[in-house]
Chains A and B, each alone.
Chain A
Amino acid sequence: MVKIKEKIYQWIFGVLAFASLFFLVGIMIVLFREALPIFKKVSLIHFLGGQYWYPTYDPPEFGIFPLILASFWVCLGAMAVCVPLGVGSALYINELASVRQKAILKPAIEILAGVPSIVYGFFGMAVMAPLLQNLFHLSIGLCLFSASLTLGIMATPTVCSIAEDALSYVPNTFREASFAVGASRWQTLTRVIIPAAGSGISTAIILGMSRAIGETMTVLMVAGGAAVIPKSLFDPVRPMTSAIAAEMGEAPMGSDHYHALFAIALILFLITFVFNIIAEIISRRFRVKLGLAG
């Protein structure tokens, strides 16, 4: 009887575990099925390289190059903010902070990670954008720079907590050995700890990038939304995610516009998919390096 019960439990949890695989495959099938029809109308090269995104006009233009560039620059800008902030604070928390500081900092960063993205959006729109506008005498505060800054702050906790995990996996014997041969704290940090946790920190950065490039609500509110190739840091931009969010509501089902938005989603999916694979490869290598691979 007990055996049957166990079998049933095993079966139930097995189904639950495979459910995510099922969802992933389902999402991929839907994305491909809904995205591919657009390429009968526009060639892949024109879709990716076209400079004009005018999906609702007649004749429509489906060029997502400005959107890709917008996502790319916003993501890069966010990285410039969240990598130093996230990795720096992870290093401090793990290596230098006193127990009391750690007890305050860690939960604070975790709470920051739990703040809904729309709140960051509000913060960016109502505080950051007007502030930057006045500070730099910009014609408009809703721009690439504000979006990067807001997203950077938002991705910091992701980077910080994963990097901190990586640092904490570095065995204490590494530190003790380093101190034993007479290395200073700084030398230990830069020559031993960071190289040992390096791939874990890279994973943190890549996952932060996934978060930044996939974020929708914040960029919709803060980036300005102009589908134009940005010429400066202070131009309004329209990242891929915000184009989908803003336009899906009105795109008639089955229309070219609808398929084009799915094609953007497919490209986004492929980008984050590649990011995640890279992160996985690096973290696997990291485990092997530290002798943790099983």
Chain B
Amino acid sequence: MKRILGILTVLASVIGFATVSYAAKIVVEGSTTVLPIAQKAAEVFMQTHTDADISVRGGGSGVGISSLLDGTCSIGDSSRPIKDSELDKARTYGKDIKAHVIAMDGIAVIVNSANSISALTKKQLKDIFTGKVSDWSEVGGTAGKIVAVSRDSSSGTFEAFGTLALGGQKVRSDAVMQASNQAVASTVERTPGAIGYVGLGFLSSSVKALDFAGITPSKEMVLSGKYALGRPLFMYTNGEPQGLVKDFIDFVKSPEGQKIVDQEGFVALK
């Protein structure tokens, strides 16, 4: 009996310890687009706040929001606004989800650097990605098969592109699907007839970014709202953020945090 009591005491103290140390732990989870910002911001934040233990995970926007609803993370990153179905779910869980815009992202349409095309209209881009147009000569380029390269359906960029560029229409079924921005960029780099889309931060000299609807993709154009393929990036919290969670989100929005946003290739809010 004494022994059992002893074991129970040890167990209780371990559990007690675990909960105490959990109090200063913040889990940030969600969009892989927001991931580099959250990761870097957490590193810098923890240098000045030694009491904070922030762990940052990817998984995708949907994962971030559902983890927030399940209570397994305190900040859910998302590269799209929360869906009505998710808000409904939050209500049934009795949670009040608050949105914090932390940066802007722009999606650039890229082609192989050997491609003669340098601009596309809204309709042309939509026709290419929905499968109405399959040859470059139909949009004013040199004849050749168009290879559409898309992000996988789990990506926030895929969802944003579908909404912003395709108006919710389906991406052509023969589109090549890639798991990351980098993979899209390198596929387009290696494939002469390819067209793809990536976040502004993933543009490089090895691929050609197209003007879309008459606007060259740039940070200024995204911020001004003139470039149509731009979107806000979010951090979601359950209710108004408090304590360390609030400090962290305030930090991301601060000039210092926005400098990180800029360094990671996204568009800072100011």
A residues apposed to B, CB below 8 Å: 52-57, 66, 129-130, 133, 139-142, 220-221, 224-228, 235-236, 238, 246-253
B27 interface residue per 8 A CB criterion: no
B192 / chain A contacts, CB cutoff of 8 Å? 139
CA distance A191 to B55 in the complex (A): 64
- Interface residues in B176-219 by Cβ distance below 8 A to A read 176-179, 183, 187, 190-194
A133 / chain B contacts, CB cutoff of 8 Å? 190-191
B242 interface residue per 8 A CB criterion: no
CA distance A248 to B59 in the complex (A): 9
B137 interface residue per 8 A CB criterion: no
Flag the segment in B60-68, B122-130, B229-237, B257-265 that touches A: B60-68
The answer on a CB contact under 8 Å between B145 and A139 is yes
What residue in chain B is nearest A225 (Cβ atoms)? Answer: B177
The answer on a CB contact under 8 Å between B190 and A250 is no
B residues apposed to A, CB below 8 Å: 59-63, 66, 144-145, 147, 152-155, 159, 168, 170, 173-179, 183, 187, 190-194
B60 / chain A contacts, CB cutoff of 8 Å? 249-250
CA distance A225 to B173 in the complex (A): 10
B144 / chain A contacts, CB cutoff of 8 Å? 139
CA distance A13 to B158 in the complex (A): 50
CA distance A77 to B193 in the complex (A): 26
The answer on a CB contact under 8 Å between A228 and B173 is yes
CA distance A224 to B194 in the complex (A): 12
- B133 CB, nearest partner CB in chain A, Å: 15
The 10 A-B pairs with the shortest beta carbon distances in the complex, nearest first, are A225-B177, A250-B154, A250-B60, A246-B152, A228-B174, A228-B173, A224-B176, A56-B153, A139-B145, A250-B62
The answer on a CB contact under 8 Å between A247 and B147 is no
The answer on a CB contact under 8 Å between B147 and A140 is yes
CA distance A215 to B71 in the complex (A): 34
A247 / chain B contacts, CB cutoff of 8 Å? 152-154
The answer on a CB contact under 8 Å between B194 and A140 is yes
What residue in chain B is nearest A66 (Cβ atoms)? Answer: B173
The answer on a CB contact under 8 Å between A57 and B177 is no
CA distance A86 to B159 in the complex (A): 44
- B256 CB, nearest partner CB in chain A, Å: 31
* Contacting residue for B187 out of A53, A140, A238, CB 8 A: A140
A253 / chain B contacts, CB cutoff of 8 Å? 66
* Contacting residue for A250 out of B145, B153, B175, B178, CB 8 A: B153
* A-B contacts, 10 listed (Cβ < 8 Å): A139-B147, A140-B176, A140-B191, A140-B194, A224-B177, A225-B152, A226-B175, A246-B152, A251-B154, A253-B66
What residue in chain B is nearest A57 (Cβ atoms)? Answer: B170
- B91 CB, nearest partner CB in chain A, Å: 16
The answer on a CB contact under 8 Å between A142 and B154 is no
What residue in chain A is nearest B86 (Cβ atoms)? Answer: A252
What residue in chain A is nearest B152 (Cβ atoms)? Answer: A246
A227 / chain B contacts, CB cutoff of 8 Å? 173, 177
CA distance A139 to B192 in the complex (A): 7
- A82 CB, nearest partner CB in chain B, Å: 25
The answer on a CB contact under 8 Å between B63 and A250 is yes
- B169 CB, nearest partner CB in chain A, Å: 9
CA distance A92 to B176 in the complex (A): 40
B177 / chain A contacts, CB cutoff of 8 Å? 224-227, 238, 246
A252 / chain B contacts, CB cutoff of 8 Å? 62, 66
- B70 CB, nearest partner CB in chain A, Å: 9
What residue in chain B is nearest A142 (Cβ atoms)? Answer: B176
Known: A227-B173, A238-B177, A250-B154; 9 extra A-B contacts, CB below 8 A, are: A56-B153, A139-B147, A140-B187, A141-B191, A221-B179, A225-B152, A226-B175, A226-B177, A249-B63
